[in-house]
Structure 1
């Protein structure tokens, strides 16, 4: 049984073919404009699942990078303050060695006590140091001053860590408690107690008491150096995580690009080919559609 092909069928098929060519060309133009070969889920249902996964991992990686930057800044600041505390403790030791010498006079010891008084006030200032308006030596109680001239050395600071997530399953503390740096209230080598005792001893020309506290100063200094080493170890680990994070970012961006980004040279070639096909189909379609019933009756 033969099928009669009408002029209307020819016109419909021609228009459908033209629309398909136009849609293909429009899709390629969109890829060229956006630079992406996946602009909607229907473009590549399988590829979009990978693309969304890479986007999620990149977003998480970017958050880790922001945390790393914040952790670096916090630890660098803590280390700077610890360096200043270290300089003050070294000066206290130097003055103590000079003051307990038998050659020191009451006048020179009194002068030492005056300098120790200034160092004590500087230690209080460093103990109450802030970063972005938050006290760095009071654990998680960052809104409360940990020390004052009357209670320093007699009360403990908050010991809770401020943790930042720097990688999956990796949380690192970005703070150090004042108890670790200056000592607990119960410690005989609490730095505030020792400096205050040395200050008062030299003020009254009491070399014996000052000599007895020399060992406590050495003990505190050794503990303090351990804290600085711990901060340095954390900084090194953060640097390692930073390098790993940056490498992972490059990898994820590369995978995301291979999945979503269009090959520009290939896309331009495709578009040129599709434009030629569309123009040819327009030309042929125009000739077909021009035929009418009168033409067939001639």
Structure 2
């Protein structure tokens, strides 16, 4: 059996409805001022959890892009240094062929020796190159100069990789050790040892010995070219990773916008509707309350 509806019940319900309408309008006005659909956890708990996840992934993506930029700079600088080393190796090869020619005079051999000695020093300088204060050819011992002028052929460079996170679960070692570029200690094709031996043979005017060295020199140049190719492959991989990260950033930003941002046109429409409803409620409420006041006065 339904209970009797009193005037007080009608008034209470009317005030409750007006309050709810005001709350809705306040929420929509806040959305318009912030241009955000979610301004506090209570607005959409589920949506907020998605938004927080997207923000976290965007933050990680930004860090990966910074890592990609750093890795690219390191690899490009290394490639520049290897290009310089490549020119030195090519010149050494040319001079070695000239030195193997038995028709050279002693003065010509001395001139070749002088240039070979200069190229040795140039290779040592390249081997000690630093990028932003870090030696690029000495593994993780970036604060240690790997080569000394007098004993470069005896150096043993650190072979620990320097890795960058360039994606979710993806790392890339960007450094090339000096031993791969210039040869291992005691190796028959160690560039520094070859140059010292070549200088000695030029000084001794030993054309045969110089000719016999060409195979070992070619071995070093061949290994060096493989190292340069590896750098090129890593740069290509970095470029692909960069493209993927940019695509991910765009997708994540779109998803975040759909969850967090307010649809301004929809909010304005709903706000106008709520304002009309509120004004109508006030008019109806005034008419509802008036008779009760008259009755009370009587």
For residues 239 and 251 of structure 2, what CA distance do their matches in structure 1 show?
19
Match of 1:123 in 2: 123
Instruction: Tell me the CA shift for residue 286 of structure 1.
Output: 4.6
For residues 133 and 182 of structure 2, what CA distance do their matches in structure 1 show?
21
Give the stretch that moved more between structures: 29-38 or 9-18.
9-18
Describe the SS at the equivalent of 1:37. coil
> Scaled by the length of structure 2, what TM-score is found?
0.92
For residues 290 and 203 of structure 1, what CA distance do their matches in structure 2 show?
121
Matches within 5 A, 1:269-288: 269-286=269-286, 288=288
For residues 223 and 3 of structure 2, what CA distance do their matches in structure 1 show?
102
Q: What's the RMSD between the two structures over aligned residues?
A: 2.0
Describe the SS at the equivalent of 1:112. helix
Matches within 5 A, 1:134-153: 134-153=134-153
Matched, 1:85 2:114: no
Match of 1:3 in 2: 4
Instruction: Tell me the CA shift for residue 116 of structure 1.
Output: 1.4
For residues 109 and 271 of structure 1, what CA distance do their matches in structure 2 show?
93
Describe the SS at the equivalent of 2:154. coil
Match of 2:29 in 1: 29
Match of 2:64 in 1: 64
Match of 2:192 in 1: 192
Instruction: Tell me the CA shift for residue 159 of structure 1.
Output: 0.6
Matched, 1:178 2:142: no
Describe the SS at the equivalent of 2:123. helix
For residues 181 and 67 of structure 2, what CA distance do their matches in structure 1 show?
24
For residues 146 and 240 of structure 1, what CA distance do their matches in structure 2 show?
33
| Structure 1 contact 110–204 (Cα < 8 Å) conserved | no
Encode CA deviations 1:128-179: one digit per residue, 9 max, x unaligned.
0111100000001111000011220112100111111222332210100001
Matches within 5 A, 1:186-265: 186-265=186-265
For residues 4 and 42 of structure 1, what CA distance do their matches in structure 2 show?
34
For residues 15 and 166 of structure 1, what CA distance do their matches in structure 2 show?
58
Deviation beyond 6 Å, 4+ runs, structure 1: none
Instruction: Tell me the CA shift for residue 16 of structure 1.
Output: 2.6
For residues 286 and 151 of structure 2, what CA distance do their matches in structure 1 show?
96
Describe the SS at the equivalent of 2:152. coil
How many corresponding residue pairs? 297
Match of 2:132 in 1: 132
For residues 40 and 104 of structure 1, what CA distance do their matches in structure 2 show?
86
> Scaled by the length of structure 1, what TM-score is found?
0.92
Match of 2:109 in 1: 109
Encode CA deviations 1:64-85: one digit per residue, 9 max, x unaligned.
2111111111111111111110
For residues 283 and 30 of structure 2, what CA distance do their matches in structure 1 show?
25
